[in-house]
């Protein structure tokens, strides 16, 4: 394949477009992670126990898995600007409804609906962000969008949790709804007025599923990301049972994790734009090593915080995988880019599942580190296979296509 040499879209303020898209990432990241911290409050108000309330989290993840490919295929002929505005308006309404859900079953429905735009938004945002810059700056552009999500783990999640404690959990969802509407307005103001791709069609998008490299990249994310979630999901329980700290230290550790992921997302693109495949391999190996050290680090708070930061830093390979999907998707960019977040949420299911199995088997809370290490190495093995099979292709086989502006 030929490298896409077409010039980037001409916009007056590309940085403002990236900022607008990142605000949407901040809104999504806030609701995705804050819902876990608000679980005790809405479980009590809705009259359900904690395990049952956990189904609300799963309903959102299911919405992501279903919505990402479905929206990308059905909306293939829409302009990216119009689609992003529509997605954030829908996301805002669904989160507002979550905030007024009268019963558990209504909450399940509204969280499922909230998850539908998640993957498509990030996928289309990544394509738009990359289309505004030269090909050798794509990873950095995608990382700016993803920084919104990682910063949400540092600021948005604690803020939503404070709102939940002080004025009620429903206001945490109101915050996300307001951020979503703000994003829609910013995208409307700053995103380029591009023409929709006349050749786009649902069948063309589905063509991405015929490409082995797309499946290998998605499998890397689904397995490799699982390692991070194996530890993150049981972090609070590990700190209470193994580190034996006050519950007040748990939010501190969560912030440290978010800072680590934000740092990785900001730093890694400096290298990945020139060395995409090696960067992903190094990050997966980094994750395997830091997760392997987790059992030794967990008993002591200082070493635990260092390990949490390091594990969070390794999460930056999500940006690399997103960019890799742009390279291997051919002309089915939207579906492949959106499917990345389906893979991410698959990892969110795999990691806690295997980590929980190890804990229930009597291996202890810190055994999640060994589970995570195994998953990270599994992701690395898949990535190395993809790298070997793609050894004959150009460094950037396909870039996010540039669309003409009206």
Write down the pLDDT at residue 399: 42
Q: Is the dihedral of CA 266, 267, 270, 274 positive or negative?
A: negative
The reply to whether 166 and 97 lie within a common domain is: yes
Long-range contacts from 198-206, C-beta under 8 angstroms, 24+ separation:
199/331, 200/76, 200/77, 200/334, 201/76, 201/77, 202/73, 202/74, 202/76, 204/76, 204/331, 204/332, 205/72, 205/73, 205/76, 205/332, 205/334, 205/335, 206/73, 206/332, 206/335
Write down the pLDDT at residue 389: 81
Q: Identify whether 406 is part of a domain.
A: no
Write down the pLDDT at residue 202: 63
Supply the range of the domain harboring residue 212. Answer: 201-393+397-401
The reply to whether 303 and 342 lie within a common domain is: yes
Write down the pLDDT at residue 196: 58
The reply to whether 342 and 238 lie within a common domain is: yes
Q: Identify whether 208 is part of a domain.
A: yes
Write down the pLDDT at residue 275: 76
The reply to whether 241 and 146 lie within a common domain is: no
The last residue of a domain, from among 183, 199, 215: 199
The reply to whether 238 and 380 lie within a common domain is: yes
Instruction: State the SS3 of the chain.
Output: CCCCCCCCCCCCCHHHHHHHHHHHHHHHHHHHHHHHHHHHHHHHHHCCCHHHHHHHHHHHHHHHHHHHHHHHHHCCCCCHHHHHHHHHHHHHHHHHHHHCCCCHHHHHHHHHHHHHHHHHHHHHHHHHHHHCCCHHHHHHHHHHHHHHHHHHHHHHHHHHHHHHHHCCCHHHHHHHHHHHHHHHHHHHHHCCCECCCCCCCHHHHHHHHHCHHHHHHHHHHHHHHHHHHHHHCCHHHHHHHHHCCCCCHHHHHHHHHHHHHHHHHHHCHHHHCCCHHHHHHHHHHHHHHHHHCHHHHCCCHHHHHHHHHHHHHHCCHHHHHHHHHHHHCCCCHHHHHHHHHHHHHHHHHHHHHHHHHHHHHHHCCCHHHHHHHHHHHHHHHHHHHHHHHCCCCCCCCCCCCCCCEC
Q: CA-CA distance, 345 to 213, in Å (whole number)?
A: 20
Provide the residue-wise pLDDT of the chain in tens; the chain has 406 residues: 344 444 554 455 778 888 999 999 999 989 887 877 677 788 889 888 766 777 787 788 888 888 888 887 787 778 888 999 999 999 999 999 999 999 999 999 999 999 999 988 988 888 888 888 777 777 778 788 888 888 888 888 778 877 887 888 899 899 999 999 999 999 999 888 766 555 555 656 666 667 788 888 889 988 988 888 888 878 877 888 899 988 778 878 888 988 998 898 888 877 776 777 888 889 999 999 999 999 999 999 999 999 999 999 988 887 788 778 777 766 666 677 777 777 887 887 788 888 888 888 889 889 999 999 999 999 999 989 988 887 655 444 444 444 433 3
The reply to whether 183 and 233 lie within a common domain is: no
Number of structural domains the chain divides into: 2
Q: Is 353 exposed, middle or buried (0-12, 13-18, 19+ CB in 10 A)?
A: middle
The last residue of a domain, from among 173, 199, 225: 199
Which residue's structure tokens are 């992921």? 261
The reply to whether 8 and 109 lie within a common domain is: yes
- Radius of gyration, CA atoms only, the chain: 20
Residue 190, domain CATH? 1.20.1250.20
Q: Identify whether 14 is part of a domain.
A: yes
Q: CA-CA distance, 113 to 118, in Å (whole number)?
A: 10
The reply to whether 9 and 101 lie within a common domain is: yes
Write down the pLDDT at residue 92: 96
The overall longest dimension of the chain from CA atoms, in Å, is 62
Q: Is 105 exposed, middle or buried (0-12, 13-18, 19+ CB in 10 A)?
A: exposed
3-state SS class at 194: strand
Write down the pLDDT at residue 396: 43
Write down the pLDDT at residue 401: 45
Q: Identify whether 210 is part of a domain.
A: yes
């Amino acid at each position: 394949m030929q490298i896409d040499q077409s010039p980037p879209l001409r916009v007056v303020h590309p940085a403002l477009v990236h900022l607008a898209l990142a605000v949407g990432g901040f809104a999504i990241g806030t609701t995705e992670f804050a819902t876990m911290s608000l679980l005790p409050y809405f479980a009590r108000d809705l009259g359900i126990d904690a395990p049952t309330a956990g189904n609300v989290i799963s309903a959102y993840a299911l919405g992501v898995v279903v919505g990402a490919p479905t929206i990308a295929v059905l909306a293939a002929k829409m302009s990216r600007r119009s689609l992003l505005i529509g997605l954030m308006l829908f996301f805002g309404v669904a989160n507002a409804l979550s905030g007024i859900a009268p019963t558990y079953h209504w909450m399940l429905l509204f969280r499922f609906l909230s998850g539908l735009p998640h993957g498509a938004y990030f996928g289309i945002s990544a394509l738009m962000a990359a289309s505004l810059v030269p090909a050798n700056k794509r990873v950095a552009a995608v990382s700016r969008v993803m920084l919104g999500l990682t910063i949400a783990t540092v600021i948005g999640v604690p803020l939503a949790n404070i709102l939940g404690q002080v004025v009620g959990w429903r206001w945490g969802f109101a915050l996300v709804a307001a951020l979503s509407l703000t994003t829609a307005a910013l995208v409307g103001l700053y995103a380029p007025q591009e023409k929709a791709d006349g050749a786009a069609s649902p069948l063309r998008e589905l063509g991405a599923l015929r490409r082995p490299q797309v499946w290998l990249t998605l499998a890397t994310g689904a397995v490799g990301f699982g390692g991070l979630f194996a530890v993150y999901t049981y972090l609070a329980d590990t700190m209470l049972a193994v580190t034996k700290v006050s519950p007040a230290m748990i939010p501190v550790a969560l912030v440290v994790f978010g800072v680590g992921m934000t740092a990785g997302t900001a730093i890694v693109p400096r290298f990945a734009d020139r060395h995409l495949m090696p960067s992903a391999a190094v990050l997966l190996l980094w994750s395997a090593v830091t997760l392997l050290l987790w059992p030794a680090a967990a008993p002591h708070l200082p070493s635990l915080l260092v390990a949490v930061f390091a594990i969070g830093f390794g999460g930056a390979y999500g940006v690399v995988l997103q960019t890799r999907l742009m390279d291997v998707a051919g002309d089915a960019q939207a579906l492949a880019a959106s499917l990345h977040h389906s893979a991410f949420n698959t990892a969110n299911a795999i990691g806690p599942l295997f980590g929980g199995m190890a804990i229930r088997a009597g291996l202890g809370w810190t055994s999640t580190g060994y589970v995570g290490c195994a998953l990270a190495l599994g992701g690395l093995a898949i990535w190395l296979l993809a790298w070997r099979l793609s050894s004959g292709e150009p460094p950037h086989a396909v870039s996010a296509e540039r669309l003409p502006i009206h």
